[in-house]
Amino acid sequence: MDDLVAAGSIKTKEVEAAFRAVPRHLFAPEVSLQDAYADDIVRTKQDQHGITVSSVSAPWLQATMLEQAGISPGMRVLEVGSGGYNAALIAELVGPTGAVTTMDIDADVTERAHHCLAAAGYDQVHVVLADAEHGVPEHAPYDRIIVTAGAWDIPPAWTDQLAPDGRIVVPLRMRGLSRTVALTPRDGVLVSLDHQMAGFVPVRGDGAHPERLVQLHDADVGLRFDEQAPELDAAALRAALLAPRVEAWSGVRFGGMEPFDGLLLWLASSLDDYGLLSRARSPTARELVDPVSPIGTPTAVEADSFAYLTLRKVEDGDDTYEFGAYAHGPDAARLAGLVVTQVQAWNRTHRDASPATISVWPATTPAEALPPGRVIAKRHRIVVLSWS
């Protein structure tokens, strides 16, 4: 707990008190006491392929989202994605005059949450088995809606069931990148108050939206596309990966502990033909590609060529690195230059400036009414990434 306060994940006395009050180990009976209180997720259910479909989130991330939510005593709160522990934290924050509803599409998950909440003394929490796409209208309106599963879109039910001055905190996927975003209504539009880097298991049910995966080398290396993908020649891209790479360097440096999630979001908003390069944590994959993140690195992609963000250690610096690009294919040099140019643009104008504003508009909004920025069309909404 003290570590979460020192790291800045917990900022307020109210959230700190909630964390100290709720016995986390009662919501993680599958693991040891040490693992239950570690600053890491506790996996509670996997599918037939061994992929995690439900978990108790890491404490730092739960604290971050609760701070984003700004929950006060007496509020009505809906939690989408139920593990039990987070609902108990919310119950502490709303107090005896508030109300908490936690929902999940999986009967195993809701049954487990109900049992754990009762064991910990939080049986006042409403546990509902339902698809998140439709919310829980019988307990609405909600002052806060906190989504603890990765959402590709924001369904109408969430805003319909939100109080006029309410707030939605949601891990929103935008061009493959996930950010936990605190959104508040403003003249029919949801506008971000804050956003932080985060990752969650994806929403299931009617709101699910699978990514398109183009495998470049068996299961070792792939390109992921979240929305509309460019026209690709998969065979040519696979051949390009095995050809010698081109590299370009930006001259932009950063310290080893300095976050650069703003750069990743900038590349997602500034590159037109765009995907995420992912690699397995295997020796073969490491020999083939060296992205800044194996989970997903912004990549400029065209039919038969691609270039992705990378970094190298600066020899004359202590824990200092330089951003650059590795590229493959006939158009490698141009695409590497494009990525490096955008890194330099971010360094000049956005590195020390305000973060991007994320606004969420109805899908029927005409193009001329949208603000300047990267427009991301979804099923129910249009998301716009705008930079000052």
Q: Which of 54, 57, 250, 278 is catalytic?
A: 54
Give yes or no for residue 309 having a pLDDT over 80.
Answer: yes
**And the tokens for 259?**
């976050």
Its pTM stands at 0.92
pLDDT at 227: 76
pLDDT tens readout for residues 264-276: 999 999 999 999 9
Give yes or no for residue 230 having a pLDDT over 90.
Answer: no
> Where does residue 244 rank: exposed (0-12), middle (13-18), buried (19+ CB within 10 A)?
exposed
Q: What is the CATH number of domain 2-207?
A: 3.40.50.150
Q: How many residues does the structure list for the chain? A: 388
Roughly what angle, to the nearest 10 degrees, separates helices 59-69 and 85-94? 30
Instruction: Give the amino acid at 15.
Output: V
pLDDT at 51: 56
Strand partners, 321: 254, 313
Which sequence spans correspond to the domains of the chain? 2-207, 212-349
pLDDT > 70: percent of the chain:
93
Give yes or no for residue 25 having a pLDDT over 60.
Answer: yes
pLDDT tens readout for residues 49-74: 555 555 666 888 999 999 999 999 99
**And the tokens for 181?**
């975003």
Strand 374-377 with 357-362, pairing: unpaired
Based on the residue annotation, tell me whether 54 is a catalytic residue of this protein: yes
